[in-house]
Structure formats: C-alpha cells, structure tokens
Amino acid sequence: MLDVSAIVVLLVILFMPPPSMNAIGAYDHRAKGDKARDVQAELAIASELQVQLLADPGNGRIAEEFAAQMRDLGRFDMAFRIGGSSAAIENPSNWLALVAVSDAYAESRDISESFAWAERALSACRAAGADACPAHEEVPLRLHVEQLRIGVDIKDKGFDPKFDPDGFRRELSKGHPTTRTGSKKDN
C-alpha cells in the first residue's frame, strides 16, 4: 500500500504543470503584466544621475531627479539618503533635495516625516530667494505643505495612511475637497 501511494505521489509530481514565475528586477517590485517597465533603462538613467550628483553633490535638481528615480523603483531608503545628503550641502537649490526626501516619506506613507521635510524645504526655498526658488515652484510647494498639514491632523485623529489608506483618503477629501463647477446634467 505504501509503495502504491509513493508511486501515485511521484506521478502527480512528474505530471504537474510547472509553476508560472515572472522574473522581475530586484529594484522593480511593482511591475507586473502590462505595467512592466524596462528596469535596465531606468537603472541606466539612475546611474547617469548618480555620476552627475557625484560631480555636483549639492545640486538639488539632480538630487531630486535621482531620488525620484529611486522612489519609482521602490527604493525609498536610497531616496532618503540621496536627498538628505544633498540637502546637507549649502546650495541655493538644496530645497529641492529636501522636497525629494519629503516626497519619499509621502510615498512610503509616513505623513508626519513628509510634513517635517516639506516645511524645511519651504523654509529653504524662501531663504534661497526668487532666483533659486521662483514663485511657480514655491506656490505648489506651499500648497503641498498645507495638504500635508491637513494629513497630519487626520493622522492624529486616528486615520493612519499606513494602516487605513482608504479611511485616510476619505478623511482627506473631507478636509481638502476638490471643487466641481457643475453637475453632469448641466454639462
């Protein structure tokens, strides 16, 4: 009886279809199916940005692009380090590196940290002046800080985006609703 069972199990194992596996790049944990990306091309872009940042370590624009590339690849730890180290170097554009850190915290759903870094970015933007931080960049940053402030208040009420993203979004839309200019039947 034992021999028959072993033979049946062996036959089942031999004739089972192989498991379907998708090999996804280590940096791209989100890409599947139609949304698959060319990770090698993105890593090449990141490498070029890294070379540029090594040549000009305080350049906030390059740091922001590089950190954004790492965020897109799911590497929030790298985005934190890139933005943080670039922001530590005195440069009129280092406010952009602070924005990069804030954005990385926001995408990792740490609203309190995102808000703290965004406030630092706004202060640095204002200190840099209109040449390094023109109004068309300061205004969206100011609005971002205001929305994060609302997000922190919502989190303090018990709607943490890490644990209840739907509840957080629902409460955020109550505190910061979008404006509609008419109903569907008016259009």
Sole residue written with tokens 């995102």: 114
- Give the per-residue pLDDT at 37: 61
Cα–Cα distance measured from residue 48 to residue 70, given in angstroms and rounded to the nearest whole number = 13
Query: pLDDT per residue over 97-111, tens digit each?
Result: 888 889 888 888 888
User: What percent of the chain shows pLDDT beyond 90?
Assistant: 6
> CATH code for 38-175?
1.25.40.10
Whether residue 166 is predicted with pLDDT greater than 80 in this model: the reply is yes
Average pLDDT over all residues of the chain: 79
- Give the per-residue pLDDT at 20: 52
Cα–Cα distance measured from residue 97 to residue 91, given in angstroms and rounded to the nearest whole number = 10
137 and 111 in contact (C-beta within 8 Å)?
A: no
Whether residue 127 is predicted with pLDDT greater than 60 in this model: the reply is yes
Whether residue 186 is predicted with pLDDT greater than 70 in this model: the reply is no
The overall pTM is greater than 0.95: no
- Give the per-residue pLDDT at 122: 93
- What one-character-per-residue DSSP string does 63-107 give? HHHHHHHHHHTT-HHHHHHHHHHHHTS--TTHHHHHHHHHHHHHH
59 and 53 in contact (C-beta within 8 Å)?
A: yes
Query: pLDDT per residue over 33-90, tens digit each?
Result: 544 566 777 888 888 888 888 888 888 898 888 888 888 888 888 888 888 888 888 8
Domain residue spans in the chain?
38-175
